[in-house]
Amino acid sequence: MDKRQSAEQVLRTFLRDGERVFWQGKTERFPLLENDAKWLVLAKWIGTAVVTSAILLMYAGNNPERSMKVVGLVLLVAALLVISPIMERQSVLQQHYWITDQRVILMAKDRSLYYMELPEIDDFKTVKGKTAHDCLVLGSCLFGEIDRQLRWRACHPKTDMQGGGDADQAMGLVLFNVSNAEGAAAHLRQRMSGARA
């Protein structure tokens, strides 16, 4: 997909005939060490430093002829672990969200689209206090994960890998740090009741 297309242009090609958008939003800016992930990010960085140091010390102590390839590989893995929260934040910041009369649609950083059919959303809830703005979590399959993995799950919509359905059809989505999550929830309640009627 052409990354130069605007989010709205990509969405237009994804909408079904007659499908109408009733609400739209995007992730609002947030700091890397915001409430939702501050201690998880810090723990990951500290843990990575400790484990990397231990591995390198053990390797150096047990191998008089050290291989720079092994040391480089260990340091590369450590660097990837350290930058992963930064990359995750960048990914979430570029997401867009829509609620239509048929689906909830999430556009990821790479312009890939995920959706949930309104009649298939078994439950949703608004999560407050973890980010500056509220988050909307769709699908009860995510409720057990969101206390520890809200930001990660926002980057990785839950899909049914073995189900054989559309790869872009999700079982759970997170609309992360949106400025009008209550408005989205109100639209969602209204659309879901109409879809199930």
Tell me the pLDDT tens digit for each residue of 1-57.
445 678 888 999 899 999 999 999 999 999 888 876 788 889 999 999 999 999 999
pTM, rounded to two decimals: 0.82
The set of residues, in sequence order, having a beta carbon less than 8 Å from that of 172 and lying 6+ positions away, is: 116, 137, 138, 139, 141, 142, 153, 157, 158
Q: What is the largest CA-CA distance in the chain?
A: 73
Residues composing the chain? 197
